[in-house]
């Protein structure tokens, strides 16, 4: 229990996982949606996102109850297990879902890294800088002309605001790790648990910064609210704090995509599975070591086949899943051996990290406008991670367990979330890409 987190620690982790650069673009999001659109839309999106987190936790708890109480599976594994216990038509896609979730996580984190290159924050800077930003936004509040602020904006502009808002709710990938390390897992999803309190705190911060930022600057609000701060020593210090935090925050955001890409390269290109089996024959013992290459060799050949059946050896044969998904009685001792020396493997990992860094800087340079980058990442991958996948996983997990009217309600609610996320995310992605292409033509 020494490595378990308390309720307060888990709450802080949840808030920090969601509180990132997205809060600085909240005023621009309100500018896209309008005063009424932002005031009503942001709480609704927060409510839906929080509900989807609860769906994810319920699915994780059910999967854990079927696997002897182990609740430490990650997002990709949960997607795979949910399809395994779902309807038969989905069971064949469980492996694909695991890879799909990893791919979406990769795209999201690469996008976050690109945004953080343009502008990034860390936790200490946020606590200090936001207080100074709020002080400036509330200054001369009585002189604000509310009648000059739009209540609703065109659908095209609201789609961009939706992308910015979904980018801000970027912390769903930390939910399952926090849940698995919580001392009392029941404190995660109850009425006054970690999820609800963290989302309420995040909503208040986002709403205050977004609303008052838009009221203060109207349509003159910049991609990041810090760019609207006056050229005074105090606010220059705020900008400096946000900017210098890049060195500490960027490597943390880069960790997830590096792990996904490097593990794939290492396991598929640089490591080869090695299967060892011991057999006995009348003339003596022999050791067969077979190198199994994926999609080329999918089983062990018999050793000394012409000398009869092998006797029992010290290695027990167990059903092992082959690369094509079939089961076969292979030895339990399957190890992966590197093709290169350990030092060579480390150099390959450094090259992988370097290429990812170059990729993020190239993408950030290609789309230097912060709001367009946030809109695209939020609409394309943020919506999928935060809304589409949790509802899909919940639907697959409880498909065979829920009956009657409850099943109808589950299908209706989860289906509504999936349809909404696909339409809003797809439309937001198209508008974001179109706006980015137009910005290239203007430049």
Tens-digit pLDDT profile for residues 329-357: 444 444 555 555 667 778 888 888 888 88
List the one residue out of 201, 198, 196 whose CA is nearest residue 54.
Answer: 196
124 domain-assigned: yes
What is the mean predicted confidence (pLDDT) over 310-326? 41
The model's confidence at residue 407, banded by pLDDT at 50, 70 and 90, is very high
Q: What gap in Å lies between CA 21 and CA 111, rounded to an integer? A: 12
Average pLDDT, the chain: 74
Helix 155-168 to helix 370-377 angle (10° resolution) is 80
pLDDT in tens, 234-292: 767 776 776 666 556 667 667 778 878 888 888 777 665 554 444 444 444 433 333 33
Half-sphere exposure of 60 (CA within 13 A, CB side): 25
Task: Return the pLDDT at 92.
Answer: 87
Q: What one-character-per-residue DSSP string does 342-388 give?
A: HHHHHHHHHHHHHHHHHHHHHHHHHS--HHHHHHHHIIIIIHIIIII
Task: Return the pLDDT at 422.
Answer: 93
User: Does residue 394 contact residue 56 with C-beta atoms inside 8 Å?
Assistant: yes
Task: Beginning with the edge strand found earlier in the chain, give each strand of the sheet holding 284-291 in spatial order.
Answer: 284-291, 271-281, 334-338
214 domain-assigned: yes
Q: What gap in Å lies between CA 379 and CA 23, rounded to an integer? A: 16
List the one residue out of 396, 375, 409 whose CA is nearest residue 158.
Answer: 375
State which residues form the domain around 169: 7-253+369-442
pLDDT in tens, 61-114: 888 888 765 556 788 888 998 998 888 888 888 889 988 998 888 888 777 777
The model's confidence at residue 295, banded by pLDDT at 50, 70 and 90, is very low
Task: Return the pLDDT at 312.
Answer: 42
203 domain-assigned: yes
261 domain-assigned: no
The model's confidence at residue 410, banded by pLDDT at 50, 70 and 90, is very high
Task: Return the pLDDT at 160.
Answer: 74
Burial status of residue 107 (CB atoms within 10 A of its CB: 0-12, 13-18, 19 or more): middle
Task: Return the pLDDT at 122.
Answer: 38
**Hey, what are 393's tokens?**
């996983």
Task: Return the pLDDT at 394.
Answer: 94
CA distances to 113, 151, 209 from 134, in Å: 26, 22, 7
The model's confidence at residue 123, banded by pLDDT at 50, 70 and 90, is very low
Task: Return the pLDDT at 337.
Answer: 53
Q: How many domains does the chain have?
A: 1
263 domain-assigned: no
User: Does pLDDT of 210 surpass 60?
Assistant: yes
Residue carrying structure tokens 């137009």: 438
User: Does residue 215 contact residue 38 with C-beta atoms inside 8 Å?
Assistant: no
Task: Return the pLDDT at 54.
Answer: 93
**Hey, what are 62's tokens?**
């059910």
417 domain-assigned: yes
282 domain-assigned: no
User: Does pLDDT of 311 surpass 90?
Assistant: no
241 domain-assigned: yes
pLDDT in tens, 156-197: 777 777 777 787 777 777 788 888 888 888 888 888 889 899
Task: Return the pLDDT at 408.
Answer: 94
């Amino acid at each position: 229990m020494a490595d378990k987190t308390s309720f307060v620690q888990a709450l802080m982790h949840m808030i920090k996982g969601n509180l990132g650069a997205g809060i600085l673009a909240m005023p621009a999001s309100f500018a896209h949606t309008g005063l009424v659109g932002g005031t009503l839309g942001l709480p609704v999106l927060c409510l839906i996102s929080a509900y989807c987190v609860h769906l994810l936790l319920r699915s994780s708890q059910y999967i854990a109850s079927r696997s002897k109480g182990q609740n430490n599976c990650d997002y990709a594994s949960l997607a795979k297990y949910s399809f395994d216990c779902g309807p038969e038509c989905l069971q064949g896609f469980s492996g694909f879902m695991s890879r799909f979730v990893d791919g979406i996580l990769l795209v999201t984190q690469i996008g976050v890294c690109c945004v953080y290159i343009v502008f990034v924050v860390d936790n200490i800077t946020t606590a200090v800088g936001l207080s100074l930003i709020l002080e400036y936004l509330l200054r001369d509040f009585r002189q604000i002309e509310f009648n000059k602020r739009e209540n609703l904006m065109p659908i095209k502009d609201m789609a961009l605001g939706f992308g910015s808002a979904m980018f801000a709710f970027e912390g769903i990938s930390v939910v399952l790790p926090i849940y698995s390390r919580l001392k009392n897992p029941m404190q995660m999803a109850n009425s006054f648990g970690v999820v609800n309190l963290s989302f309420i705190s995040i909503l208040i911060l986002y709403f205050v910064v977004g609303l008052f930022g838009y009221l203060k600057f109207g349509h003159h609000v910049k991609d990041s609210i810090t760019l609207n701060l006056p050229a005074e020593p105090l606010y220059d210090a705020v900008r400096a704090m946000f900017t210098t935090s890049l060195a500490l925050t960027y490597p943390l955001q880069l960790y997830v995509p590096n792990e996904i890409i490097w593990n794939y390269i290492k396991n598929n290109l640089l490591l080869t599975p090695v299967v060892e089996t011991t057999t006995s024959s009348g003339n003596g013992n022999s050791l067969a070591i077979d190198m199994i290459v994926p999609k080329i060799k999918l089983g062990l050949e018999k050793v000394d086949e012409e000398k009869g059946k092998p006797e029992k050896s010290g290695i027990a044969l167990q059903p092992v899943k082959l690369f094509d998904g079939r089961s076969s009685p292979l030895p339990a001792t399957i190890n992966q051996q590197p093709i290169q020396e350990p030092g060579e493997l480390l150099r390959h990992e450094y090259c992988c990290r370097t290429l990812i860094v170059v990729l993020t800087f190239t993408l950030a340079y290609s789309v230097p406008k912060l709001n367009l980058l946030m809109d695209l990442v939020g609409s394309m991958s943020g919506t999928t991670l935060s809304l589409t996948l949790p509802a899909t996983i919940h639907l697959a997990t409880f498909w065979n367990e829920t009956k009657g009217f409850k099943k109808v309600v589950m299908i209706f609610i989860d289906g509504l979330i999936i349809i909404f996320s696909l339409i809003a995310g797809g439309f937001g992605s198209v508008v974001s890409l179109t706006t980015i292409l137009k910005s290239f033509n203007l430049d």
